[in-house]
Amino acid sequence: LQSLRLSNPNGVKVYNVATGRTIPKWLSDQKKRSLRRDEDYRARVEILQELEFNGVSQKVKCSKDGQFFMASGIHPPQVKVYELNELAIKFERHLDAEIVDFQILTEDYSKMAFVCADRSVQIHAKFGAYHKVRTPKQARDLA
Protein backbone atom coordinates (compact mmCIF):
# COMPACT_ATOMS: atom_id res chain seq x y z
CA LEU A 1 0.00 0.00 0.00
CA GLN A 2 3.03 2.28 -0.03
CA SER A 3 2.60 3.16 -3.73
CA LEU A 4 -1.02 4.31 -3.38
CA ARG A 5 -1.87 7.97 -2.89
CA LEU A 6 -3.28 8.45 0.59
CA SER A 7 -5.56 11.19 1.82
CA ASN A 8 -6.69 11.50 5.41
CA PRO A 9 -9.92 13.57 5.59
CA ASN A 10 -11.43 13.70 9.09
CA GLY A 11 -9.04 11.02 10.34
CA VAL A 12 -10.24 8.38 7.85
CA LYS A 13 -7.59 6.87 5.57
CA VAL A 14 -8.67 6.86 1.90
CA TYR A 15 -6.43 5.19 -0.69
CA ASN A 16 -6.69 6.27 -4.33
CA VAL A 17 -6.13 3.17 -6.47
CA ALA A 18 -6.58 4.95 -9.81
CA THR A 19 -3.45 7.13 -9.60
CA GLY A 20 -0.84 4.62 -10.76
CA ARG A 21 0.73 4.25 -14.18
CA THR A 22 -0.76 1.48 -16.31
CA ILE A 23 1.11 -0.88 -18.62
CA PRO A 24 -0.08 -0.77 -22.26
CA LYS A 25 -1.51 -4.03 -23.62
CA TRP A 26 0.53 -3.72 -26.84
CA LEU A 27 3.86 -3.86 -24.98
CA SER A 28 6.06 -6.76 -26.13
CA ASP A 29 6.76 -9.69 -23.79
CA GLN A 30 10.47 -8.84 -23.73
CA LYS A 31 9.73 -5.30 -22.57
CA LYS A 32 7.31 -6.61 -19.90
CA ARG A 33 10.02 -8.98 -18.60
CA SER A 34 12.47 -6.09 -18.36
CA LEU A 35 9.97 -4.18 -16.19
CA ARG A 36 10.38 -6.74 -13.39
CA ARG A 37 13.38 -4.76 -12.16
CA ASP A 38 11.47 -1.46 -12.23
CA GLU A 39 10.47 -0.43 -8.70
CA ASP A 40 7.26 1.37 -9.85
CA TYR A 41 6.16 -1.74 -11.76
CA ARG A 42 6.82 -4.03 -8.80
CA ALA A 43 4.84 -1.79 -6.41
CA ARG A 44 1.74 -1.59 -8.61
CA VAL A 45 -1.73 -2.65 -7.46
CA GLU A 46 -3.88 -4.82 -9.72
CA ILE A 47 -7.63 -4.80 -9.19
CA LEU A 48 -10.09 -7.61 -9.89
CA GLN A 49 -12.50 -6.33 -12.56
CA GLU A 50 -16.32 -6.54 -12.23
CA LEU A 51 -16.25 -7.49 -8.54
CA GLU A 52 -19.64 -6.05 -7.67
CA PHE A 53 -23.11 -7.19 -6.68
CA ASN A 54 -26.46 -5.38 -6.86
CA GLY A 55 -27.26 -6.19 -3.25
CA VAL A 56 -24.88 -7.92 -0.88
CA SER A 57 -22.03 -10.38 -1.22
CA GLN A 58 -22.19 -12.92 1.61
CA LYS A 59 -19.43 -15.47 1.08
CA VAL A 60 -16.11 -15.42 -0.76
CA LYS A 61 -13.76 -18.36 -1.27
CA CYS A 62 -10.64 -19.14 -3.25
CA SER A 63 -10.07 -22.42 -5.08
CA LYS A 64 -7.46 -24.83 -3.72
CA ASP A 65 -5.18 -24.26 -6.72
CA GLY A 66 -5.32 -20.49 -6.13
CA GLN A 67 -6.40 -19.72 -9.70
CA PHE A 68 -10.07 -18.92 -9.11
CA PHE A 69 -12.01 -16.71 -6.71
CA MET A 70 -15.73 -17.25 -6.02
CA ALA A 71 -18.23 -14.87 -4.45
CA SER A 72 -21.92 -15.40 -3.74
CA GLY A 73 -24.47 -12.64 -3.46
CA ILE A 74 -28.18 -12.00 -2.99
CA HIS A 75 -30.81 -10.05 -4.89
CA PRO A 76 -30.72 -11.84 -7.26
CA PRO A 77 -29.15 -14.98 -5.78
CA GLN A 78 -26.00 -15.57 -7.78
CA VAL A 79 -22.43 -16.81 -7.70
CA LYS A 80 -19.59 -15.25 -9.66
CA VAL A 81 -16.31 -16.98 -10.51
CA TYR A 82 -13.24 -14.87 -11.26
CA GLU A 83 -10.02 -16.04 -12.90
CA LEU A 84 -7.14 -14.50 -10.94
CA ASN A 85 -4.59 -14.84 -13.77
CA GLU A 86 -6.75 -12.60 -15.96
CA LEU A 87 -8.14 -10.48 -13.06
CA ALA A 88 -11.57 -10.76 -14.69
CA ILE A 89 -14.85 -12.59 -14.31
CA LYS A 90 -14.95 -16.12 -15.72
CA PHE A 91 -18.73 -16.57 -15.45
CA GLU A 92 -21.70 -15.87 -13.24
CA ARG A 93 -24.56 -18.19 -12.42
CA HIS A 94 -27.99 -17.33 -11.02
CA LEU A 95 -29.83 -19.63 -8.63
CA ASP A 96 -33.48 -19.90 -7.57
CA ALA A 97 -32.92 -19.30 -3.85
CA GLU A 98 -30.52 -17.34 -1.64
CA ILE A 99 -27.17 -19.05 -1.06
CA VAL A 100 -26.54 -19.79 2.62
CA ASP A 101 -23.12 -21.39 2.09
CA PHE A 102 -21.10 -22.99 -0.68
CA GLN A 103 -18.08 -25.22 -1.05
CA ILE A 104 -15.68 -25.80 -3.94
CA LEU A 105 -15.41 -29.59 -4.31
CA THR A 106 -12.44 -29.78 -6.71
CA GLU A 107 -9.05 -28.09 -7.08
CA ASP A 108 -10.53 -25.62 -9.58
CA TYR A 109 -14.11 -24.37 -9.97
CA SER A 110 -15.41 -27.39 -11.94
CA LYS A 111 -17.59 -28.82 -9.12
CA MET A 112 -19.38 -26.79 -6.46
CA ALA A 113 -22.03 -27.43 -3.79
CA PHE A 114 -24.51 -24.80 -2.62
CA VAL A 115 -26.73 -24.80 0.47
CA CYS A 116 -29.76 -22.65 -0.33
CA ALA A 117 -32.37 -20.93 1.83
CA ASP A 118 -35.20 -23.01 0.31
CA ARG A 119 -33.84 -26.11 2.17
CA SER A 120 -32.05 -27.45 -0.89
CA VAL A 121 -28.48 -28.52 -1.61
CA GLN A 122 -27.44 -28.01 -5.22
CA ILE A 123 -24.45 -29.61 -6.92
CA HIS A 124 -23.09 -27.72 -9.94
CA ALA A 125 -20.52 -28.69 -12.54
CA LYS A 126 -18.81 -26.60 -15.21
CA PHE A 127 -21.79 -26.91 -17.53
CA GLY A 128 -24.40 -25.88 -14.93
CA ALA A 129 -26.73 -27.41 -12.33
CA TYR A 130 -26.11 -31.14 -11.93
CA HIS A 131 -28.25 -32.29 -9.00
CA LYS A 132 -30.65 -30.79 -6.44
CA VAL A 133 -31.75 -32.37 -3.13
CA ARG A 134 -34.23 -31.00 -0.60
CA THR A 135 -33.35 -31.44 3.06
CA PRO A 136 -35.89 -31.97 5.86
CA LYS A 137 -34.51 -29.04 7.89
CA GLN A 138 -32.77 -25.83 6.92
CA ALA A 139 -28.99 -26.28 6.75
CA ARG A 140 -26.69 -23.53 8.04
CA ASP A 141 -23.28 -24.70 6.91
CA LEU A 142 -21.51 -27.01 4.50
CA ALA A 143 -18.33 -28.84 5.50
pTM of the entire predicted model? 0.69
Arithmetic mean of pLDDT, 34-63: 77
The phi and psi torsions of 31 (rounded to 5 degrees) equal: -70, -40
Q: How confident is the model at residue 13 (pLDDT cuts 50, 70, 90)?
A: confident
Q: Give the strand pairing for 68-74 and 88-94.
A: unpaired
**Contacts of 58 by beta carbon, 8 Å cutoff, 6+ apart:** 72, 73, 74, 99
The string of pLDDT tens digits covering residues 98-124 is 999 999 999 988 899 999 989 999 999
